A and B are shown apart, each in its own frame.
Chain A
Amino acid sequence: MRTKDLVATAISNTFRSKLRTTLTVLAIFVGAFTLTLTNAVGAGVSQYVDAQVGALGSPDVFIITQANDATAAGDGPVKYDAGSSASVSSQQGPPGTTTKALTDTDLTKIGDTAGIVSVDPIRAVQPDYIEYGTGSQYEFSINATSAVTTADLTAGAQLDGSASEAQLVLPDTFVTPLGFASADDAVGASVSIGITDILGEQHTVNATVVGVSLESLLAAGAGANDALIAELADAQSGGIETAVTSYGVAVAHFDTALSADSVTALKADLATAGYTASTIEDQLGAVQTVINGIVGVLNAFAVIALIAAAFGIINTLLMSVQERTREIGLMKAMGMSGGKVYTLFSLEAIVIGFLGSAIGAGVAIGLGSALSAVLSKGLLSGLPGLNILLFEPTSVAFVILLVMLIAFLSGTLPAQRAARQNPIESLRYE
């Protein structure tokens, strides 16, 4: 029998028992549908994170904190040490996380580490509001690491770290409320930022908007250059010089010529010195790891559905072999080899697998694309640029091929049974 005829026969046999085929296909459909969607979520999120990493740029920056040793449960209380025990809210990690503060001694030590070019503390400032002209005042926050990262701009330019003028990169969600006609309109405008000092007195600081950025998953808030941060910090301190300066986080630039291995070695050096150093990519990687974990769990469910479907295929084909005993016997009597009979039934399994997975993937793409469009306008509108479901042709093809492989393996047992059938037994007439 020619391959073409085998395939054609397998396809037409599949449609002979429509109800049974439909039910089996439905079981596969569920698995393939889920798998296609979960893969799309994984791809969508990782594409978003990659884009963010790209936008954030700064491949030569470490974000450095004291190694976190303070609050591990079960270790008992840690002895107080006046030199190092100051804790600050670092804005790193989940809300409420505190880490031991970095002192000027620490900064010198970090700066002296071979490979580190420069180190700067990040000063956290908490402004109250932002205002343009005589418009309304809006609650407002500044992203502490914005000075070292690159914003995803929709208008204007990046912050200039060395400028003496106070510069601001405004999140695009503020453009209309503040009274600007467009993002381009906002660029170049002067806004005032209100901030309360430690004595409870309110001050205003003026800043020039140099750019408008898309709000991102990892860098919420506005961007401010060093000059603006310094001005805000001075206003916040109310002119009182604290005896020991301590910072939650420092930013260190390392030698851009270092290889990936050397960067890893440098991280290890800093770790032995008692500091946690992570690149921006590391931090994004952590987010991605969590999302990949969730996608992995969903995938596991999809695979379980597919395994259940595999038993459905076995059952369907065993029934089919049973029903078609006479037909198989006849074909073998007419000289069809066991191998060809095996191929025929395997192909039927593959056809069922293909039907289920192609329909499943197709429906997943259709529904998913619609859902994705709705979500990005609604629930996820706060994360512009995030395409939560990204259907990559290769991964869709992979799902379909995987299901076809599972179907082929499920078809092995029934196909073997058909191939081994003795024509005489099958054609015996009682």
Chain B
Amino acid sequence: MDSEWVIDAQGLEKSYGSGASRFDALKGVSVQIAPGETVAIVGKSGSGKSTLMHLLALLDEPDQGTLQVAGHDAKSLSKRAVNELRNKEFGFVFQQFFLTPNVSVLDNVILPLKIAGMGSKERRRRGMEVLEQLELADKAGNKATTLSGGQKQRVVIGRALVNAPRVIFADEPTGNLDTATGAVVEDILFELNRSQGITLVIVTHDEDLAARCDRQIYIRDGLVVSQTTSTHTGSTHTGAHAQATPEALTTAGGAA
């Protein structure tokens, strides 16, 4: 069943605005993402990476082209089914943290479970489990605003992870972190892929991050210009970064 969980996009087109101000952000993009894969969508700023990710994650609808998720045509899915899919099967890391200020770290993390209608005891248990995993359990009661950048991004990952999704969509996950903290966050994501088989779709303009993925899709001006496959098969997953200890995580987070 897992093996059926392919995202298959064909000839996606998307434009913003109309008339003279019309801008074609995507001009016919076809990509396939297999379960358990790590895929990088690479390109310069404004090339259409985020737009493509939004379409793949069913956050937006294409003007042209088809999108199939696990064998179902996205167009044929009801609004409710799409909401359910995003809530249960997808996790999101957006370009910004989008943490709710003045709300505790735990409450931020369990937001998807709250939306799903899970009972408060159960979602608390699950939220603490995730925070434990991310070495943030001691920060559970803190307000999100009191955290450092690295810690915030780990909270964001916790929120993406809490519903045990099949796919995590990450838009520039290290974009606003310093190199050391960014590396720690990358390690966490790839570790999730390795240990839990979560598919990663990572939007980035960072060549190093792209290189750590199984596959790279290069985009320029709304078109796929090339696709490459990494020669490594997982050996890099156990590279220097992956050995980061919990201490290293905390230090890196605190330093950011």
Instruction: List A residues at the B interface (Cβ < 8 Å).
Output: 1-2, 5, 9, 16, 326-327, 329-331, 333-337, 340, 423-424, 427, 429
Residue of A nearest to B87 (CB): A335
A335 touches B92 (CB 8 A): no
Complex CA distance for A424 and B80, rounded to whole angstroms: 18
B residues within 8 A CB of A2? 117, 119
Give the contact stretch, choosing among B66-74, B108-116, B222-230. B108-116
Question: B133 an interface residue at 8 Å Cβ cutoff?
Answer: no
Q: A424-B59, A427-B98 given as contacts; is B79 within 8 A of A331 (CB)?
A: no
Q: A1-B117, A2-B117, A5-B120 given as contacts; is B88 within 8 A of A335 (CB)?
A: yes
A210 to chain B, nearest CB (A): 73
Contact pick for A335, options B83, B96, B102, B120, CB 8 Å: B83
Residue of B nearest to A4 (CB): B120
Complex CA distance for A326 and B88, rounded to whole angstroms: 21
Q: A5-B114, A326-B98, A424-B54 given as contacts; is B59 within 8 A of A333 (CB)?
A: yes
A residues within 8 A CB of B54? 424
Complex CA distance for A331 and B112, rounded to whole angstroms: 8
Residue of A nearest to B115 (CB): A336
B60 touches A424 (CB 8 A): yes
Contact pick for B115, options A16, A326, A335, A429, CB 8 Å: A335
Query: Do most interface residues of chain A lie in helix, strand or loop, or is the interface mixed?
Result: helix
B residues within 8 A CB of A423? 59
A16 touches B102 (CB 8 A): yes
30 A-B residue contacts at CB 8 Å?
A1-B117, A2-B117, A9-B114, A326-B96, A327-B98, A327-B100, A330-B94, A330-B98, A330-B100, A331-B115, A333-B86, A333-B92, A334-B87, A334-B92, A335-B84, A335-B85, A335-B88, A335-B112, A335-B116, A336-B83, A336-B115, A340-B115, A424-B54, A424-B60, A427-B94, A427-B96, A427-B98, A429-B50, A429-B94, A429-B96
Residue of B nearest to A2 (CB): B117
Interface contacts beyond A1-B114, A1-B115, A2-B117: sample of 5 additional A-B pairs, CB < 8 Å, sorted by A: A5-B114, A5-B120, A334-B86, A335-B88, A336-B115
Encoded as 1 (CB less than 8 Å from any A CB) or 0, chain B from 117 to 128 comes to 101100000000
Q: What 7 A-B pairs have minimum CB-CB distances, sorted nearest first? A: A335-B87, A429-B95, A335-B83, A335-B86, A336-B115, A334-B112, A330-B98
Complex CA distance for A1 and B110, rounded to whole angstroms: 12
B residues within 8 A CB of A330? 94, 98, 100, 111
Complex CA distance for A329 and B117, rounded to whole angstroms: 18
Name B218-238 residues within 8 Å CB distance of A: none
Contact pick for A337, options B79, B88, B112, B120, CB 8 Å: B79
B205 to chain A, nearest CB (A): 14
A residues within 8 A CB of B116? 335
B17 to chain A, nearest CB (A): 12
Query: Do most interface residues of chain B lie in helix, strand or loop, or is the interface mixed?
Result: helix
Residue of A nearest to B160 (CB): A334
Complex CA distance for A334 and B112, rounded to whole angstroms: 6
A156 to chain B, nearest CB (A): 68
A337 touches B100 (CB 8 A): no
Complex CA distance for A327 and B107, rounded to whole angstroms: 13
Contact pick for A331, options B96, B102, B111, CB 8 Å: B111
The interface centre, meaning the residue of A329, A331, A336, A340 with most chain B CB atoms within 10 A of its CB, is: A336
Q: A427-B94, A429-B96 given as contacts; is B114 within 8 A of A337 (CB)?
A: no
B residues within 8 A CB of A334? 86-87, 92, 111-112, 115
B234 to chain A, nearest CB (A): 30
Complex CA distance for A330 and B112, rounded to whole angstroms: 10
Name B172-230 residues within 8 Å CB distance of A: none
Complex CA distance for A1 and B92, rounded to whole angstroms: 19
B149 to chain A, nearest CB (A): 15
B83 to chain A, nearest CB (A): 4
The interface centre, meaning the residue of A2, A16, A327, A333 with most chain B CB atoms within 10 A of its CB, is: A333
A419 to chain B, nearest CB (A): 12
Complex CA distance for A327 and B112, rounded to whole angstroms: 12
B residues within 8 A CB of A340? 115
A residues within 8 A CB of B60? 424
Complex CA distance for A385 and B79, rounded to whole angstroms: 64
B117 touches A337 (CB 8 A): no
Complex CA distance for A9 and B115, rounded to whole angstroms: 11
Complex CA distance for A424 and B54, rounded to whole angstroms: 8
A residues within 8 A CB of B115? 1, 331, 334-336, 340
A residues within 8 A CB of B112? 334-335
Residue of A nearest to B84 (CB): A335
A residues within 8 A CB of B79? 337
B residues within 8 A CB of A335? 83-88, 112, 115-116
A226 to chain B, nearest CB (A): 79
A163 to chain B, nearest CB (A): 79
A residues within 8 A CB of B102? 16
A residues within 8 A CB of B95? 429
Residue of B nearest to A330 (CB): B98
Complex CA distance for A329 and B96, rounded to whole angstroms: 13
Residue of A nearest to B94 (CB): A427
Complex CA distance for A331 and B87, rounded to whole angstroms: 10
Q: A1-B117, A424-B60 given as contacts; is B83 within 8 A of A337 (CB)?
A: yes
Complex CA distance for A240 and B79, rounded to whole angstroms: 100
A337 touches B80 (CB 8 A): yes
B243 to chain A, nearest CB (A): 32
Complex CA distance for A88 and B73, rounded to whole angstroms: 96
A residues within 8 A CB of B50? 429
